[in-house]
Chains A and B, each alone.
Chain A
């Protein structure tokens, strides 16, 4: 019998110092996994990790070599790596005519290249045991677009297709790759929205509210568990029914 327990598993969560990443680290720890979370700032990573019973390390996911070294180091220290959640990402809004080149470079290097580096390194670490589960963070706007979020949406569409393509390559090695596509979740990324904007977004969902980080984390915990053993290459919307 399988269950949602992750006892004995080793997990890595990038961008784990707040919001969905921190909630995911907490959910995986509660399920019994040994969890390492990362953040760009070492002190914040350490502090966040301590708050949920994980270990914290500094990592800039745009640095491919650093990602490779860290993932390899975690696998070496713990003897294996079972779960990787590639969560690190940024979101900055800009209407089409106001998009600066810097915004494109920063968003794509963090959200797309950063996720790609993480999935590459994770796959290498998991390949020897021919098992593992990877989840990347897409977004509902990556699937359906959003005014003022062209760059972010494009980056998240790419992330979803990293999951789909990697799933096709890695399936025969026993490695599953899925994506979650959150809707509007109450995190630091959405804290800049006005109360009116939040109410408007909440009003668009059949559930009549915004999501909470732990609701995304719970879906991730399911996807990396044995309960999802025949699920790969999927993009799971977690949006309160925002898109139906």
Chain B
């Protein structure tokens, strides 16, 4: 997995207030109560702040799993470089 993943994992844990039992790397939207639509907004905001990237509306809606988020952040960061 990319170098984005470890940092993104921390963002997921903090933004969704996850405990150690959650398998973050395989987490999907709505797998857990904390990652509902409201949690998703908090998560998106946290990722944008942490990685200094900006999602458009379609990307926000399409960010359906941790793995997808890794790919999206990686792609956005490569555009910023």
User: By DSSP majority rule, is chain A's interface helix, strand, loop, or mixed?
Assistant: helix
Which residues of A have CB within 8 Å of B56? 65, 68
- Please measure, in the bound complex, the distance between the C-alpha atom of A130 and the C-alpha atom of B42, giving whole angstroms: 9
Point out the residue from A69, A127, A170, A172 that lies within 8 Å of B45, measured CB to CB: A127
Indicate the size class of the contact surface on chain B.
10 to 19
When the two chains form their complex, are residues B38 and A172 in contact, meaning their CB atoms are under 8 A apart? Answer: yes
**Residue in contact with B42 in the complex, picked from A64, A65, A68, A127, CB distance below 8 Å:** A127
Residues of A in contact, count (CB < 8 Å): 16
CA distance A68 to B45 in the complex (A): 11
Cβ of B75 within 8 Å of any chain A Cβ, yes or no, is no
Q: Is B48 an interface residue (CB 8 A)?
A: yes
| Chain B residues in the interface with A (C-beta under 8 A) | 15, 37-38, 41-42, 44-46, 48-49, 54, 56-57
Additional 10 contacts, C-beta under 8 A, given A124-B41, A173-B38: A64-B57, A68-B57, A72-B54, A124-B44, A127-B45, A128-B15, A128-B46, A169-B37, A170-B38, A172-B38
Binding site for B on A (CB under 8 A): 64-65, 68-69, 72, 76, 123-125, 127-128, 130, 169-170, 172-173
